[in-house]
Homo-oligomer: A and B are copies of this chain.
């Protein structure tokens, strides 16, 4: 069950949070925007501090929300590929603005 933001004051931010607030979702999306298609193991490599379990959960939620597409190759061993869905691409401005800010003010936290 994913966390719910029950906002009764009609704050539009809440809708966005529903989708990207997961602890690692925006980072996952960032990488997927950059590389278009990534396998599970590749994502794991990019987020080494995130456990497999959490990564799988976050991916599952993103897929539930139709933000990403999951493609399973029934080879042996199995292979999966994740990519941003058409709907997911609408989030690009959000992720991009976060990326820009994070780049501009990189020093703020690395210097701490």
Contact = CB atoms under 8 A, between A and B. Distances in A.
Q: Classify the secondary structure of A's interface with B.
A: helix
A15 B97 contact: no
B48 A8 contact: yes
Instruction: Kindly state the interface size class of chain A when it binds its partner.
Output: 35 or more
Contacts of A102: 11-17
Contact of A95 (B13, B18, B30, B91): B13
Contacts of A96: 97
29 contacts: A6-B49, A7-B27, A7-B47, A7-B49, A8-B48, A9-B46, A9-B48, A11-B27, A11-B30, A12-B98, A12-B99, A12-B100, A13-B98, A13-B99, A15-B101, A15-B108, A15-B110, A16-B98, A16-B102, A17-B26, A17-B27, A17-B98, A18-B109, A93-B101, A94-B94, A94-B97, A94-B98, A94-B101, A97-B97
